[in-house]
């Protein structure tokens, strides 16, 4: 079998080193690799660009790492149908470069697009600011090809956007962290590249003002593609982005400026720089957490998260007020204190099924804080699902919430 090699340092997953690394270059090779792993009863973790490898818990067992990086081709792009079928190991940036000449894009802007792979994005449910308008990968994936733990190749969904034939495997796999099967190919619906873009940034806002302005923009029936508030000292700068045709973008930006006189309209390179700053702030340091809550609970969430931020060196918050998401990022200095602050924040976030999940954490913090928090309410069904598709518990065992 080709694509099998001895492991190197870079193959480690959250401190665990595999005894073998596999790099299949085709669906057939991936299926061969999975059958071989099944025969060997080997525990395996799938790795794309490795940008979300720290999300969740370390695998309980790790014999092999399977890299998808050689599965990096566009299988089919039908511009007129606005769909693309792509192998899982292609990076988001490479895919966007393929699509751009056709005036199209995958309307998803996760961090590190040069490294993040489409399969990894699906597995980790990765997203960026445009989630405000386009949703998560769950709203964009229309088909998958997986290789199951037993080496069987199975497909779900299809190549048309509207399709309700059979159970929805593509969406079920979103966020499954490679614990139900190897994502080998993904089919996405595409969106047109916008003709124009503009961002209005409003500095000096308290959390309540962030929520109020975000709400006012939506109440005014504006249709932003992104809304994010970046922490600056004890205040926030709220950035609201519009994309579309020139007249629509212009009018919406002007109407937003009319809602708040402190706003500043930003375009071109400055606009790109502002959103790059969003990504940098969200990814700063070695501790990253994502809080989720009903959007109207924004101030409460900020109050619950501030003690966590305070325990970190150079800690900061990034708020997505329309989504009910806040990112905490910073550098660990006192693991015990951060662990206690996380434990204290979780109950405050729980109403409305809110959560606080560690997306990255050094071992010292993992020793004192569970990356997921309490098991989800339907954890028994989740365990049964895992057993159905991976009866021997070999696919990224223990990575998911509830020890799945």
Partner 1 sequence: MTARSAAGEAARREGVGARSLARQLAGIVGPRNVVVDPAELLVYECDGLTHGRVCPELVVLPGSTEEVAAVVRVARDANVPLVPRGAGTGLSGGARPVPGCAVVSLSRMRRILALDLENGWARVEPGVINLDVTRAVAGDGFYYAPDPSSQSVCSIGGNVAENSGGAHCLKYGFTTNHVLAARVVLSDGAVVDLGGPAPDAPGYDLLAALVGSEGMLGVVTEVTVRLLRKPETTRTFFATFPSTDEAGAAVSGIIAAGILPAAIEMMDRLAIVAAKAATGLDWPDVGAALLMDADGPRAEVEHVSARAIEIARAAGALEVRVPRDEAERQLMWKGRKSAFAAVGRISPSYLVEDGVIPRSEIARVLRDIARLADEAGLRVANVFHAGDGNLHPLVLYDARVPGEEERAARLGGEILRLCIRYGGSITGEHGVGAEKAAYMAEQFGPDDLDTMQRVRCAFDGAALMNPGKVFPTPRLCGEKPGPYRPHPAEVAGLAERW
- What the block records as the tokens of 276 is 């790059």
Give me the phi and psi of 356, to 5 degrees please: -135, 115
Kindly tell me which of 91 and 318 has the beta carbon lying closer to partner 1. 318
What is the footprint of partner 1 within residues 380-399 (CB under 8 A)? 380-382, 384-385, 387-389
Kindly tell me which of 40 and 267 has the beta carbon lying closer to partner 1. 40
CA angle 28, 32, 38 (to 5 degrees): 145
Listed ranges 154-162, 227-235, 264-272, 309-317: which one lies at the site for partner 1 (CB under 8 A): 154-162
Which of 186, 354, 360, 395 lies at the binding interface for partner 1 (CB under 8 A)? Answer: 354
Question: What's the min distance (Å) between Cβ of 373 and partner 1?
Answer: 7
Beta strands in 213-299 (DSSP E): 226-232, 235-244, 264-266, 287-292
Q: How far apart are the first and last CA of the chain?
A: 30
What residues pair up with 58 in beta bridges, in sequence order?
none
Helix (H/G/I), strand (E/B), else coil: 217: helix
Q: How many residues bind partner 1 (CB under 8 A)?
A: 104
- As a whole number of angstroms, the distance between CA 378 and CA 382 comes to 6
- What the block records as the tokens of 62 is 């790790």
Kindly tell me which of 78 and 280 has the beta carbon lying closer to partner 1. 78
Question: What's the min distance (Å) between Cβ of 29 and partner 1?
Answer: 12
Kindly tell me which of 93 and 193 has the beta carbon lying closer to partner 1. 193
Establish if 188 lies at the interface with partner 1 (CB under 8 A): no
8 A C-beta contact, residue 3 and residue 33:
yes
Cβ-Cβ contacts under 8 Å for 236 (sequence gap 6 or more): 205, 206, 207, 209, 210, 229, 230, 317, 319
Give me the phi and psi of 347, to 5 degrees please: -60, -35
- What the block records as the tokens of 76 is 């089919």
What is the footprint of partner 1 within residues 238-277 (CB under 8 A)? 244-252, 255
Establish if 152 lies at the interface with partner 1 (CB under 8 A): yes
- As a whole number of angstroms, the distance between CA 183 and CA 372 comes to 23
Establish if 307 lies at the interface with partner 1 (CB under 8 A): no
Kindly tell me which of 89 and 373 has the beta carbon lying closer to partner 1. 373
What is the footprint of partner 1 within residues 108-147 (CB under 8 A)? 125, 135, 138-139, 146
Listed ranges 229-237, 267-275, 340-348, 374-382: which one lies at the site for partner 1 (CB under 8 A): 374-382
Which of 50, 203, 362, 402 lies at the binding interface for partner 1 (CB under 8 A)? Answer: 402
Establish if 164 lies at the interface with partner 1 (CB under 8 A): yes
> Distance of CA 274 to CAs 209, 211, 239, 316, Å?
20, 20, 8, 16
Establish if 309 lies at the interface with partner 1 (CB under 8 A): no
Establish if 299 lies at the interface with partner 1 (CB under 8 A): no
Establish if 347 lies at the interface with partner 1 (CB under 8 A): no
Which of 8, 39, 233, 269 lies at the binding interface for partner 1 (CB under 8 A)? Answer: 39
What is the footprint of partner 1 within residues 9-38 (CB under 8 A)? 20, 32, 35-36, 38
């Amino acid at each position: 079998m080709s694509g099998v090699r001895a492991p190197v340092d870079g193959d480690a997953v959250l401190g665990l080193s595999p005894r073998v690394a596999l790099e299949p270059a085709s669906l057939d090779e991936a299926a061969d690799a999975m059958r071989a792993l099944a025969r060997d009863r080997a525990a395996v973790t799938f790795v794309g660009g490795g940008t979300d490898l720290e999300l969740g818990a370390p695998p309980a067992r790790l014999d092999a790492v399977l890299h998808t990086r050689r599965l990096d081709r566009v299988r089919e792009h039908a511009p007129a149908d606005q769909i693309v079928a792509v192998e899982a190991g292609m990076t988001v940036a490479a895919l966007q470069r393929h699509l751009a000449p056709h005036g199209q894009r995958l309307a998803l802007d996760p961090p590190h697009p040069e490294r993040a792979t489409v399969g990894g994005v699906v597995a980790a449910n990765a997203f960026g600011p445009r989630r405000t308008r386009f949703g998560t990968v769950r709203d964009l994936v229309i088909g998958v090809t997986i290789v199951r733990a037993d080496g069987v190749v199975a497909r779900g969904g299809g190549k048309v956007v509207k399709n309700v034939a059979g159970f929805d495997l593509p969406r079920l796999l979103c966020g499954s962290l490679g614990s139900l099967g190897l994502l080998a190919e993904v089919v996405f619906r595409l969106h047109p590249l916008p003709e124009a873009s503009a961002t209005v940034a409003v500095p000096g806002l308290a959390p309540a003002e962030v929520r109020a302005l975000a709400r006012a923009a939506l109440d005014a029936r504006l249709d932003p593609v992104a809304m994010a508030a970046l922490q600056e000292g004890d205040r926030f700068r709220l950035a609201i982005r519009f994309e579309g045709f020139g007249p629509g973008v212009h009018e919406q930006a002007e109407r937003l400026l009319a809602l708040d006189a402190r706003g500043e309209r930003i375009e071109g390179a400055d606009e790109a720089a502002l959103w790059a700053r969003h990504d940098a702030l969200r990814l700063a340091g070695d501790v990253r957490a994502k809080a989720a809550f009903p959007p109207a609970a924004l101030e409460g969430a900020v109050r619950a998260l501030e003690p966590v931020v305070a325990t970190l060196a150079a800690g900061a918050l990034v708020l997505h007020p329309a989504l009910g998401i806040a990112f905490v990022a910073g550098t660990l200095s006192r693991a015990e204190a951060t662990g206690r602050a996380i434990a204290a924040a979780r109950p405050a976030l729980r109403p409305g099924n809110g959560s606080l999940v560690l997306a990255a954490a050094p071992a010292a913090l993992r020793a004192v804080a569970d990356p997921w928090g309490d098991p989800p309410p339907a954890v028994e069904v989740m365990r049964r699902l895992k057993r159905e598709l991976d009866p021997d518990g070999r696919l990224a065992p223990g990575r998911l919430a509830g020890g799945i």
